Amino acid sequence: MTDLFSGLSSMGLGNIEKMDLFEKPKEVSVEGPKKPIVVEEKDILFDKGFECPVCDSKITAKNMKTGKAKMSHQDMDLRTVFEGIDITKYDVIVCPVCGYAALTRFHKPMSPGTARLIKDNISVNFRWEEENKETYSYEFAFKRYQLALANAMVRKAKDSEKAFICLKTAWLMRGWNESMEATPENADMKKQIQAQEQAYLKNAFDGFMSAVGSESGQICGMDANTIDYLLAVLAYENKQFETSSKLVAKLLTNPSTPSKTKDKLRDLKDKLLEELKK
């Protein structure tokens, strides 16, 4: 074979004569697929500080870090589901001193008269046992929602706020049910939780229907199309199919209804047709 570099030694480059023209590729060790990083619920949370509007105590509540959880899907009734965490568990702020509790969006300053209602009807007999864990259990989260609803009743909150608390409590029950394995040991508990979800959905529907007829402006941050869509879904979930059908028809023929909402409405319409055939 012809030596490509023969004669280089005469140029003082004899060290190159025996070198390969093309370097052999370096051997790369092949590792198995990397294990996905599992983000635990506790890693998505932090303790956020608040001031109680009733007794001025400095309090904390667990809150989800922004951008740390990946959205999985959204249920028909607007419950947003994330991977690795049920964010519904962390939307109630509780003062362990006086017993005031509210959803984050409704945790605002209040008048002295309203604060007096809380003190006279909640604080006077209030006892609280904190759950000192890195995350909230469903049982503990449920107590927080119950306390928030009791406070809303005592301070004569709007029907929309009480309905929203009921809706989110229904979401909490759904998440709780989904978190439990379908075993014979859990059967009774799952039935009880599902029954509670239905009860809260009914009260959410009743409350929002009342709010639509008595409150002006946006309801819990939802515009008219969104609240009508939610009512259509809640009516369906409460087996009030005629009411749901009317709301679906109203929204589908409304030119201001967003196209994404109309896609959801068509899915709901198909479900209604199936129910009406039975």
Q: What single letter denotes the amino acid at residue 194?
A: Q
DSSP lists the bridge partners of residue 81 as: 73
Pick the closest to residue 257 from 215, 233, 237, 229 (CA basis): 229
DSSP lists the bridge partners of residue 185 as: none
Question: Domain residue spans in the chain?
Answer: 42-157
Q: What is the pLDDT along the chain (278 residues), one digit of tens a residue?
A: 455 555 556 555 656 556 665 566 666 555 656 655 667 899 999 999 999 999 999 999 999 998 888 999 999 999 999 999 999 999 999 999 999 999 999 999 999 999 999 999 999 999 999 888 999 999 999 999 999 999 999 999 999 999 999 999 999 999 999 999 999 999 999 999 999 999 999 999 999 999 999 998 899 999 999 999 999 999 999 999 999 999 999 999 999 999 999 999 999 999 999 998 87
Alpha-carbon gap, residue 93 to 107, rounded angstroms: 7
Cβ-proximal residues to 124 (8 Å cutoff; 6+ apart), any chain: none
Measured CA angle at 184 (ends 182, 190), to 5 deg: 55
Please answer whether residues 134 and 45 qualify as being in contact, where contact means their C-beta atoms are separated by less than 8 angstroms: yes
